[in-house]
Structure 1
Amino acid sequence: MENVVAGYGRKRILHDVNLAVMPGEIFGLVGLNGAGKTTLIKTLTGLHAIDSGKISVFSHSAEDQKSRENLAFLPEQFLPSLHLRGWEFLQLTLAYYHLPLDRDAAITLAHKMGLDETALSRKITTFSKGMGQKIGLIGTLMTKRPLLILDEPMSGLDPLVRIGLKDALTSYRNAGHSIFFSSHILADMEELCDRIAVLHEGCIRYVGSPHELRTMHGEPTLERAFLKVISEKTPE
């Protein structure tokens, strides 16, 4: 992203945002509610037009359909089509990327997400919101795209499932892929991310490793360092 400005009508949400996600890294986006995280993610995925600036995804404009061939996106509070069963959803998701359904891999990921494999045979009308999110995560991880974009993937997950998801994301990164995700759970950011960006009031206030942010502000936790960053005045 280079000097990206975006908003809704006359209301500007993102102000001259510059970001770059490197191959083989987990990159976290953190900010308060209303900071512009979801808008930023929508611009990355081509779901929201920018007013000015440039966004490239693997050398293609984010608004170019070709850019989406190399990424998989999971929105916040995802729920699949209620007319499908779990297996059908996974098969359709992978068919979009011209991939076969690997049932063994799906079952392994289901266990990491705290789902019994029998849940994959059930109709999605019987799923809770949490189960819908979990099967969305399974499908997204199975695409094996070079870039995953996840909006608040940890939201609503219990500690055991969060551990399973973090293990799956780490394995995905170790296979050479990149992951860009937003979260308000800073402890997860510190554990997972190679680098993070702090977005506040539509502006990027920090880009770097979680450790560097703590060291810079002399704080023992990422939460306290984050609060210091967003309390600083925006440079004129």
Structure 2
Amino acid sequence: MKHDPALDIAAVYAGYGAGDVINDITLSVLPGETYGLVGLNGAGKTTLIKTILGLKDASRGEIAVSGAKAGTDAAKSQIAYLPERFDPAWFLNAYEFIAFTLSLYGRKLEKAQADEMAEQLGLKKEYLSKRAQSYSKGMRQKLGLMATFMTGSPLMILDEPMSGLDPLARAQVKKVLVDAKAKGRTVFLSSHILADLEELCDRIAVLHGGRIMFIGKPSDLLKQTGEPYLERAFLALAGLDQTKAA
């Protein structure tokens, strides 16, 4: 039995005002795949994510989430989204924030599950009863990740999920992402930490100047560019590697 892609983007253009920021974007994310989006600031990553979420209309093209048109209730019900600049309501504690988030998906909070997820992400249990106002940036990011993972949504869209995290916390998040993949969940994430994408992703898409320049396995990009590391490979592909003589 053939299944719809978890995310299917076909010849999409979108932007602001009279101009398009992203142009002719076509990619497909398979169910259970961890898929990375690579690009500089201003390349169009956030515009693309907003269009997937239905927060911005495409000027041309189509986006479907598990066969449902982007922006419809059917599509939204499949997605859990963590924005790059995540700030929970500061007057809520972790349990309250997660309970509110889960209520949007028709689910109830199980404190034992929250405690387990907090332990996996290195967020101490005693902080779960404290208001988010007292949290550091890294702790707030972990709370956002907890809520996103606990929705159980089949497609998680994570915009710079490692933002504000130290090396230990990054390792903990990567472990949770690997576990999510093992359970069949699909992850679509952007990150400036290309080593993390190289480690986690089945495939990546390189977005530069509003256009897709590469889609494939990280190892394929290394072979194509002849570079040993994904960061160098990205710079070479985009024509930005200034370490080499002209």
TM-score by length of 2: 0.92
Structure 1: runs of 5 or more not aligned: none
Q: 2-side partners of 1:77 and 1:57: how far apart? A: 24
Q: 2-side partners of 1:204 and 1:61: how far apart? A: 22
Contact 1:112–1:161 (Cα < 8 Å) also in 2:
no
Q: 1-side partners of 2:224 and 2:175: how far apart? A: 28
What is the match of residue 160 of structure 1?
168
Aligned identity (percent) is 49
What is the match of residue 204 of structure 1?
212
Q: 1-side partners of 2:38 and 2:162: how far apart? A: 13
* Residue 21 (structure 2) pairs with residue 13 (structure 1): yes
2:233 to 222, 225, 228: 225
Runs of 4+ aligned structure 1 residues displaced above 4 Å come to none
Deviation readout 1:203-226 (Å, 9 max, x if unpaired): 000000001110111111111111
What is the match of residue 116 of structure 1?
124
What is the match of residue 37 of structure 1?
45
Task: Name the count of aligned residue pairs.
Answer: 232
**Helix, strand or coil: the match of 1:32?**
coil
* Residue 141 (structure 2) pairs with residue 133 (structure 1): yes
Deviation readout 1:128-180 (Å, 9 max, x if unpaired): 22222110100100111110001000112100000000000010011011000
**Helix, strand or coil: the match of 1:42?**
helix
* Residue 87 (structure 2) pairs with residue 88 (structure 1): no
2:32 to 21, 24, 45: 24
**Helix, strand or coil: the match of 1:4?**
strand
What amino acid does structure 1 have at the position aligned with 2:71? E
Q: 1-side partners of 2:137 and 2:54: how far apart? A: 26
Q: 1-side partners of 2:16 and 2:97: how far apart? A: 32
Q: 1-side partners of 2:124 and 2:16: how far apart? A: 42
Q: 1-side partners of 2:24 and 2:201: how far apart? A: 24
Contact 2:141–2:163 (Cα < 8 Å) also in 1:
no
**Helix, strand or coil: the match of 2:158?**
strand
What amino acid does structure 1 have at the position aligned with 2:126? T
Q: 2-side partners of 1:59 and 1:126: how far apart? A: 41
Q: Which moved more, 1:148-157 or 1:122-131?
A: 122-131
Q: 1-side partners of 2:191 and 2:110: how far apart? A: 29
